[in-house]
């Protein structure tokens, strides 16, 4: 069967139906009708090993190389980062994160293709800056990036900072054709990282009423759905952010994930949020979208 509705109400497209769904998705992307929501899994589209960590567990392992954390939290990125922040100082954590993500990750064919489209909003949920690099390579001047920032280094009610593609900090105006929103921060241009448990305490307190999410993101999602690619939802933090960014969006919610690898929590999350699953390796999906 090419399309199934599972007992937990998860709609899954496979085989020819998945390919047809991707054709419609390609049309929606080229018409600015849906918002790409990018995850670190895209770094695996290249034939080479990723130059930076591509999972929270890999970041945790890299941080453990700098300062070994207790075994019970060793694989949890957010907890390991909190351990370092408490014992070594926030500045040390920020420096180590910048070093871990210092290598340039070359844009994949999907990043490069998305950068050419007239998209109003792109969401990048990882720290590597690859989507930013793809946009910069086009020479476009109508793009701004809004990054989530830790409040540990700030005074006042500051949740984000805005930059142009040259790295200059801006007072954001509504005129940008494309907004690249990196809710967890990014290594470039200023090494902004939301990564420790304490980074998220205030954000998660406020995110249910949407305060940390920029107004332009709220406005531009109201007429569009979201397309999740390269994303996994096997941690509560990742699910919470995706759910809140998706809130009050208007349109189809679609994810490309190999269904055989889904955890129970991921299946529940997808079904509960009416996210249709295209059951396909992301490499195959990227080739169909960009071909």
pLDDT band at 206 (very low <50, low <70, confident <90, very high): confident
Q: Are strands 3-5 and 11-13 parallel, antiparallel or unpaired?
A: antiparallel
The per-residue pLDDT for 7 is: 66
| 121-124, strands of its sheet edge to edge | 3-5, 11-13, 275-279, 253-257, 225-229, 34-38, 121-124, 178-182, 143-148, 160-164, 169-170
Tell me the two tokens of residue 84.
């370092």
The per-residue pLDDT for 46 is: 79
pLDDT band at 30 (very low <50, low <70, confident <90, very high): very high
pLDDT band at 155 (very low <50, low <70, confident <90, very high): low
* Residues 4, 13: Cα–Cα separation, whole Å: 7
Residue with tokens 């954590």: 93
Cβ-contact 229, 131 below 8 angstroms: no
pLDDT in tens, 58-104: 999 999 999 999 999 999 999 999 999 999 999 999 999 999 999 99
Q: What are the backbone dihedrals phi and psi of residue 250, each rounded to the nearest 5 degrees, phi first?
A: -135, 100
**In 3-state terms, what secondary structure has residue 226?**
strand
**Between 175 and 218, whose confidence is greater?**
218
For the chain, domain boundaries: 3-52+101-290, 53-100
Mean pLDDT score, 13-30: 97
Flag whether the pTM goes above 0.75.
Answer: yes
Query: Class of the 3-52+101-290 domain?
Result: alpha beta
Mean pLDDT score, 277-291: 96
The per-residue pLDDT for 217 is: 94
Determine if residue 187 is left, alpha or beta; phi over 0 gives left, psi from -120 to 50 gives alpha, anything else beta. Answer: alpha
Residue 99's nearest CA partner among 53, 159, 158 is: 53
């Amino acid at each position: 069967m090419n399309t199934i509705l599972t007992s937990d109400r998860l709609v899954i497209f496979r085989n020819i139906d998945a390919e047809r769904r991707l054709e419609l998705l390609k049309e929606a992307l080229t018409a600015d009708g849906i918002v790409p929501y990018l995850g670190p899994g895209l770094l695996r589209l290249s034939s080479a090993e990723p130059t930076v960590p591509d999972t929270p567990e890999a970041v945790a392992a890299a941080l453990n190389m700098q300062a070994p954390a207790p075994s019970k939290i060793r694989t949890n990125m957010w907890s390991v980062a909190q351990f370092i922040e408490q014992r070594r100082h926030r500045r040390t954590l920020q420096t180590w994160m910048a070093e871990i993500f210092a290598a340039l990750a070359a844009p994949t064919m999907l990043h490069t293709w998305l950068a050419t489209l007239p998209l109003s909003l792109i969401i990048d949920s990882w720290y590597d800056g690859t989507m930013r690099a793809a946009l910069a390579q086009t020479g476009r001047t109508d793009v701004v990036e809004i990054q989530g920032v830790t409040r540990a280094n700030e005074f006042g009610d500051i949740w984000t900072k805005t930059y142009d593609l040259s790295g200059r900090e801006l007072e954001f105006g509504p005129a940008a054709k494309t907004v690249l929103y990196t809710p967890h921060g990014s290594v470039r241009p200023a090494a902004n990282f939301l990564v420790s448990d304490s980074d998220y305490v205030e954000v998660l307190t406020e995110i249910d009423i949407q305060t940390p999410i920029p107004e332009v993101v709220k406005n531009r999602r109201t007429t569009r759905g979201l397309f999740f690619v390269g994303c996994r939802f096997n941690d509560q933090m990742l699910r919470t952010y995706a759910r809140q960014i998706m809130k009050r969006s208007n349109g189809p919610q679609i994810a490309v994930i190999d269904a055989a690898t889904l955890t129970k929590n991921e299946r529940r999350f997808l079904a509960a949020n009416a996210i249709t699953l295209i059951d396909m390796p992301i490499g195959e999906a990227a080739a169909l979208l960009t071909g």
